Amino acid sequence: MTVDQRIIVPLDVPSTTAAIALVEALPQVSFWKVGLELFISAGPGLLDELRARQKRIFLDLKLHDIPNTMAGACAAAGRCGVSLLTVHAAAGKEALVAAQAAAIAGAESAGVAPPVVVAVTLLTSVDSKALALELKIPLSPTDYALQMALLANDSGLGGVVCSPHEASQLRRFLPADFVLVCPGVRPTWADRQDQRRTLTPAQAIQAGATCLVVGRPITSAPDPAAAFRRICEECTAP
């Protein structure tokens, strides 16, 4: 993939109308993320509209439930022709195995390519203090992310969502084709906002990220197209 194909831009808007307006304003973006708010508001019809425009879709629902429910949801998502689908690694191996099998079966029944199911290791808004004091997990964020990534790989999933800070370590322990999707990526000229564990886009790719999720630095910029182009150029600069 070229750099521009590796950058996923979130459709963090409340309606189909707003989503399509953003897609049309940034025709150079080929990969879009649909999260919970928009999916609940717009429904699967939005996914059909994006596919009709030849866009790849990252369906970021972060599914976390019992195995049967995970399987049913992933089968439905698989039928929608999305490229990436998120589940929570913390759901456990049985649920992850069921999710992976169901996503493939759903896609096959609809005659579309199956999604790469990626497991969320640890939300980028959770730092070491929150992990220890609030979640009572006696591991560093990096060690916890590694354990969740190993679980995802052992369960047959195709990748994980992780902080760019974890990417280099995960690359050492996981297959070369294992997908690492890194949100919380911020150029030096953008506000970090609520992302605590972040790197620049160029640093994240150098660390081993497969795809980068870059939202507000692009969508909130005075010139979104110029911001997208600047990020792509920074990622390919020597």
Q: Rounded to whole angstroms, how far apart are CA atoms 182 and 171?
A: 13
53 HSE (CA, 13 A, CB side) = 22
Best CA proximity match to 215, nearest among 236, 192, 196, 234:
192
Rounded to 10 deg, the angle between the 141-154 and 93-110 helix axes is 50
Best CA proximity match to 147, nearest among 184, 121, 177, 178:
121
Q: What DSSP character marks residue 39?
A: H
CB 207 within 8 A of CB 164: yes
List residues bridging with 32 in a β-sheet.
9, 57
Give residue limits of the domains in the chain: 3-233
pLDDT at 195: 47
Look up the pTM and report it: 0.93
Catalytically annotated residue among 33, 62, 93, 136? 62
- Measure the N-to-C terminal CA separation of the chain; round to a whole number of Å: 18
- How many Å separate Cα 72 from the centre of its chain? 20
CATH fit for domain 3-233, picks 3.20.20.70, 3.60.9.10, 3.40.50.300, 3.50.30.60? 3.20.20.70
pLDDT at 236: 82
- What are the 10-residue block averages of pLDDT along the chain, 238 residues in total? 93 96 96 97 96 98 98 98 98 98 98 98 88 94 94 98 91 96 85 61 94 94 94 84
Q: Does residue 62 have an active-site annotation?
A: yes
